[in-house]
Amino acid sequence: MKTIEIIVGGTGHEITLSNFTCDELDKIKKYCEENDTDMESVLTNELGDIFEDRGDWYDCDDLGHFMGGNLSCKIYVTVISTKNMIVEEEEFEFETSDAQIETRSKDYPEFSGGTMVSFITWEKGTLDTCEFQIGDEDEFDIKRLKLVVNQIETTDSVYDLIQELSYNINGDYFPLNGDGFSDTSGKAFDVEIDECDED
């Protein structure tokens, strides 16, 4: 059997979506005034100082929590085979557009009262890794790799995130269970807040 190792590398996002009440936002605004700081800084780093049950931004995911690379990522493939007791490796680099792409739209989250706050990080590095096997006589075909891309609607934007990988073997797609973010560094952070409308 040949072992196929896939790395999705480049840039991506971690996104959490949460419903905040108008009262909670008023408390944050008051905290900002008293401590001479801004809303984004508080939502990013100081929520625990105001609310006992909120946790950090990545815990604010009652309306959704998503992680994945975007479509500008590269796909790095290593094909490992053994011939005559000798291990051989072939390495390939592909664009995401070389694979099949299935796009799924995620509906804007439903909630009543308050508003949605979106927390978005920009990450760079290894965004997913997976490994599977094919027959000794088979060749890896990037056209058989399918990327499931979820369109995540935040307060102000829409993000395309690679959420799943699968590979077509004999006509059937088999899910590739990846390891997710394994070695990334945060490059930027953004918080999006809509107007608050309490029922």
What integer is the mean pLDDT of 70-88?
91
What integer is the mean pLDDT of 59-75?
95
User: For the whole model, what pTM was predicted?
Assistant: 0.88
Please tell me the distance from the alpha carbon of residue 35 to that of residue 33, in angstroms, as a whole number. Answer: 6
Residue 111 to residues 62, 162, 196, 198: CA-CA distances in angstroms? 10, 26, 12, 11
Please tell me the distance from the alpha carbon of residue 125 to that of residue 53, in angstroms, as a whole number. Answer: 32
Residue 112 to residues 22, 47, 95, 108: CA-CA distances in angstroms? 12, 22, 41, 13
Which H/E stretch holds residue 53? none
DSSP 60: -
pLDDT band at 199 (very low <50, low <70, confident <90, very high): low
pLDDT band at 190 (very low <50, low <70, confident <90, very high): very high
Radius of gyration of the chain from its Cα atoms, rounded to whole angstroms: 21
Q: Give the model confidence (pLDDT) of 130-171 as tens digits.
A: 999 999 889 999 999 999 999 999 989 999 999 999 999 888
